[in-house]
Each structure stands twice: as structure tokens, then as C-alpha cells.
């Protein structure tokens, strides 16, 4: 008997509420909220808010006709009847296993069912406090406070939540991103939601199943990638250039300081550009360049870059003697991606090495491919080897663990190669990067 409900369940990640919003009671016409306390015992009706809450993310869309979102609300008795019917049909704990906020709305867009995640997302103590209200009223959307509740304001014609639900009621399966501005106790808060809706029918009555997912962190990441990192690279590049010019115009003592500032700024530029590359690679919109360059020159550049780096203090970074004596190899591939992949492996090797130990870089050509290697003396324990290349896994604490993961991502997905490693107590650890020759 669960078929039409379960079949509409989307595959979503576990929902962890980023911001938690309490709600207020809707207008007196709402049911059963006219007799139920609002979510949070200290909730009071705020004055009408201002802002663009509830707007659909992305391009501006044509607003809905106001009357489409304002169906008459049902009475408390009708809400109770529908809630009992829906709960019986859901089969007790079935809907509680859905790991994101999951609600069921009637044709008036009133909540007749809310699972535990939804109850907590709304800031309610029990499901009863959510029944009879519309979604915007329970998340305290500023526009639900302007007129007669959720769906009544002219701004609601642009709301992604409303569009998703009404799209389903008109016969479509609908998903939309929605920007929601909330206001509670005079405090403004912003939510970015992914709203997925699917229609179903029970006892000749139409209902809408709604799944809510907070995508605020995803939007924050987009902002970081497209705005902050871009501006940071430009600003740091300007600082680096200014310090270079300053170093040529001052005495020896100040020149050393200017060069030190330039070096640190250049390092930050490299790290910011790496994050830009990583974000683009993970979103599959990274453009691969075709550069022609010397494999030996690239390794020599890496050696010079990291020999004086803070990671190499007390360690030795050298080129393999056989690589130096072998013929040079000309590669045709994206140099920035390959060099960054090798950089990450070199940096990891230097960090893992103790003062006095040596990290060796080199390459050999065989089987129609170039095999780069980065060899270090420490052995990697078996339990660490089993988790190698996993995103954010690191033995160096939280906020790390992108080095080997990004190297494999760049090389495998964009350069058509492979990344592998071997580690033994006798021979230490060697990472290999295989790049096909064209």
C-alpha cells in the first residue's frame, strides 16, 4: 500500500539543518493552528518584513497569477481527517526513515503530515504544531507575514516553493531552487532550499509530497569559488607584483622583506588557484588546455619552487639521477593540471618526511606513456593506505586531505592517466603518475 508514496522518494543526501527557524501561527482562518501554539513557546507575531525572500534562484521567471496560490484553507476537522488518512497510508515509521524534511500538503497547500526531520527543521516540538499551516508560515518567510499568509503576497508568485507545489498540482513533476528570507523576533535569516514535489492521490483526494533540502552550503561554495577566490587571486597577484617592484627600489634590508612578502603572496595565489581548479573539476566544467612542454623543465621548476618552501625545511628535494641522464621528453597535455597534481604529491611527501630525509622526483618513458614518480622514505601504515585518495581524509587533522584526491581527480578525469602508489617499510613510499604520450 506504500507504492505511490515510496516511488516518488528522490535520492538525497542526509539532511543536516544549517539554520533552524521557528514559526508563527498563520491567520485566524488557518486550521488547526487557530487553537495550536506556534512552534516555540516564545513566538510572537512580527511586523511585516521586507526583502526578496522566496524568490526562485537563477534567472528571473514570470510570476504566477496571484489567485493560483490562494486556495481556501480547510477547517481544523478536515485537516485532522486528512492527517489521519495520510498517516495511516504512510504506514507508521516508514516516512520517518526519509533522512530529509518530508511533508505532505493538501490542495490548499496546508501541511497534513511532517516527518521528524521536518518538525525539527520548522523548529516545532511536535508534528501537531505544523499541521494546518503552509510551509512558508512554518519557516517564517517574510512574505507570509505581509498579507494573509504563505502564498498571498504578490512576491509569492516568484517563490520556488509555491512554484514546485503548484506545478505538481497542474500535472507536472517539479523541482525548484528557492531563496527564502525569514524574519523572526526582528532577526533576518536567509535559506537556500531545493524543493522537490510529486503528486499522489488518496481516497479521491489530491496531495503533494514535498522534499526540502537546505543547499545553503552549496550556494556558499559557489560564492567562494566565483567571487571570493577570483578577487583573492587578483588582489594577491597585485601585492606580489607591487613587492617585486618595491624590492628593486629599496636597500638590501628592505629588499629581503619585500621578497619574503612576494613569496608568501605568490604561495597564496597558487593555493587559491588550486581551489578554483578543484571546484571546476568537481563540477565537470573545467576546460583542459593542450600545452607542449618539457617534462624535465617542469620537474626542475617544481624542485626550485619547493626546495626553499617552508614544507622543505631541513629536507632534501632532488631529481632522480637517471632522469637527469636520460633524454628529455616533450609532453602535450594540460601543464597546469599535471604540475598541480605533482605539486600535491611532492608537498605531501615533504610534510611526511623528517628533517634530513630526501624526497626524489623523476620520470621514465615506457609503454607509450610517461611515468612520473615521487619517492619518499617514510612508510605509510596499512590502515592509511586503505583510505588513500579519499576526499578530506588526512592524518594531519581536519580541513586537509585534498592532495592525493585532487591529483587522482585531475589525472584520471581530465588527463587520461592514472595515479597509484606503493609503500613498504624497506623501500618507503612511491607515488606514480602515468600520462599517455600522444
Are 329 and 250 in a shared domain? no
Dig out the grid coordinates for 409 from the structure: 581527480
Final residue belonging to a domain, choices 214, 245, 262: 214
> CA distances (Å), 232 to each of 272, 309, 346, in order?
7, 21, 25
Q: With 80 as the cut, is the pLDDT of residue 43 above it?
A: no
pLDDT 10s digits, 270-320? 888 888 888 888 888 889 999 999 999 999 999 988 887 777 788 999 999
Q: What is the mean pLDDT of the chain?
A: 79
Number of domains the chain contains: 3
pLDDT of 24: 34
Instruction: Specify whether 196 is located in the same domain as 249.
Output: no
**83, 176: one domain:** yes
State the cell numbers at 141: 518567510
- pLDDT band at residue 124 under the 50/70/90 scheme: very high
How confident is the model over 57-63, as a mean pLDDT? 44
In this structure, the answer to whether residues 35 and 57 fall within a common structural domain is yes
Q: Give the whole-number percent of the chain exceeding pLDDT 70.
A: 81
Residues 191 and 321 reside in one and the same domain:
no
Tens digit of each residue's pLDDT (9 = 90 or more) over 224-270 = 777 777 777 778 778 877 877 877 777 777 877 887 787 778 778 88
Boundary-marking domain end, from 156, 190, 214: 214
224 and 144 in a common domain? no
The CATH number for 197's domain is: 3.30.450.20
Domain coverage including residue 370? 287-438
Q: What whole-number distance in Å separates Cα of residue 28 and Cα of residue 5?
A: 31
State whether 178 and 165 are in the same domain.
yes
Rounded to whole angstroms, the Cα distance separating 149 from 159 reads 13
- Reported as a single tens digit per residue, the pLDDT across 348-381 is 999 999 999 999 999 999 889 999 999 999 999 9
385 shares a domain with 254: no
What whole-number distance in Å separates Cα of residue 10 and Cα of residue 397? 34
pLDDT at 61 over 60: no
Whether 55 has a pLDDT exceeding 70, the answer reads: no
Helical residues (DSSP H) of 288-420, grouped into ranges: 295-307, 321-325, 335-352, 382-385, 403-414
Same domain, 411 and 351: yes
Same domain, 340 and 299: yes
- 135 with 35: CB under 8 angstroms? no
* Reported confidence tier of residue 18, pLDDT bands at 50, 70, 90: very low
Q: For 85, what's the count of Cα atoms within 13 Å in the CB-facing half-sphere? A: 18
Q: List all residues 6 or more positions away from 327 whose beta carbon is below 8 Å from its beta carbon.
A: none
CA torsion sign for 267, 350, 402, 310 is negative
Grid cell of 317 as nine digits: 628535494
Please tell me whether residues 137 and 32 are part of one structural domain.
yes
Q: What is the CATH number of the domain that holds 325?
A: 3.30.565.10
For 160-201, the pLDDT digits (tens) are 778 777 777 656 667 888 888 888 888 888 888 999 888 888
Does 149 lie in the same domain as 105? yes
- Answer with the one of 245, 265, 286 that is the final residue of a domain: 286
Measured on CA atoms in the order 240, 246, 251, 257, is the torsion positive or negative?
A: negative
Amino acid at each position: 500500500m506504500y507504492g505511490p508514496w515510496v516511488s516518488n522518494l528522490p535520492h538525497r543526501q542526509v539532511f543536516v539543518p544549517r539554520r533552524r527557524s521557528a514559526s508563527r501561527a498563520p491567520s485566524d482562518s488557518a486550521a488547526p493552528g487557530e487553537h495550536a501554539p506556534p512552534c516555540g513557546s516564545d513566538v510572537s507575531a512580527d511586523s511585516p518584513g521586507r526583502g526578496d525572500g522566496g524568490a526562485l534562484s537563477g534567472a528571473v521567471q514570470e510570476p504566477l497569477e496571484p489567485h493560483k496560490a490562494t486556495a481556501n484553507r480547510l477547517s481544523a476537522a478536515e485537516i485532522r481527517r486528512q492527517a489521519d488518512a495520510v498517516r495511516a497510508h504512510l504506514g507508521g515509521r516508514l516516512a520517518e526513515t526519509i533522512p530529509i524534511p518530508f511533508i505532505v500538503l493538501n490542495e490548499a497547500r496546508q501541511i497534513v503530515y511532517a516527518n521528524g526531520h521536518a518538525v525539527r527543521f520548522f523548529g516545532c516540538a511536535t508534528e501537531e504544531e505544523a499541521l494546518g499551516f503552509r510551509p512558508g508560515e512554518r519557516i517564517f518567510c517574510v512574505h507570509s507575514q505581509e498579507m494573509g499568509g504563505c502564498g498571498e503576497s504578490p512576491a509569492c508568485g516568484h517563490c520556488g516553493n509555491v512554484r514546485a507545489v503548484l506545478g505538481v498540482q497542474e500535472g507536472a513533476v517539479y523541482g525548484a531552487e528557492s531563496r527564502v528570507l525569514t524574519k523572526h523576533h526582528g532577526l533576518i535569516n536567509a535559506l537556500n532550499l531545493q524543493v522537490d514535489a510529486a503528486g499522489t492521490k488518496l481516497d479521491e483526494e489530491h496531495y503533494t509530497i514535498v522534499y526540502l533540502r537546505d543547499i545553503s552550503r552549496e550556494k556558499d561554495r559557489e560564492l567562494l569559488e566565483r567571487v571570493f577566490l577570483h578577487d583573492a587571486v587578483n588582489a594577491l597577484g597585485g601585492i606580489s607584483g607591487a613587492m617585486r617592484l618595491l624590492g628593486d627600489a629599496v636597500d638590501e634590508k628592505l629588499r629581503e622583506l619585500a621578497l619574503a612578502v612576494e613569496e608568501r603572496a605568490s604561495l597564496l595565489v597558487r593555493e587559491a588557484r588550486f581551489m578554483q581548479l578543484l571546484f571546476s573539476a568537481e563540477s565537470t566544467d573545467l576546460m583542459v588546455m593542450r600545452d607542449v612542454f618539457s617534462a624535465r623543465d617542469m620537474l626542475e621548476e617544481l624542485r626550485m619552487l619547493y626546495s626553499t618552501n617552508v614544507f622543505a625545511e631541513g629536507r632534501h628535494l632532488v631529481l632522480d639521477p637517471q632522469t637527469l641522464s636520460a633524454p628529455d621528453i616533450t609532453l602535450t597535455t594540460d601543464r597546469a593540471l599535471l604540475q598541480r597534481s605533482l605539486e600535491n604529491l611532492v608537498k605531501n611527501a615533504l610534510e611526511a618526511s623528517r628533517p634530513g630525509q630526501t624526497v626524489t622526483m623523476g620520470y621514465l618513458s615506457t609503454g607509450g606513456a610517461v611515468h612520473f614518480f615521487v619517492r619518499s622514505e617514510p612508510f605509510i601504515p596499512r590502515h592509511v593506505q586503505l583510505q588513500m585518495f579519499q576526499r578530506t581524509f588526512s592524518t594531519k587533522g581536519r580541513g586537509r586531505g585534498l592532495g592525493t584526491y585532487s591529483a587522482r581527480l585531475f589525472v584520471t578525469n581530465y588527463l587520461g592517466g592514472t595515479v597509484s602508489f606503493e609503500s613498504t617499510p624497506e623501500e618507503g613510499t612511491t607515488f606514480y603518475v602515468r600520462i599517455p604520450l600522444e
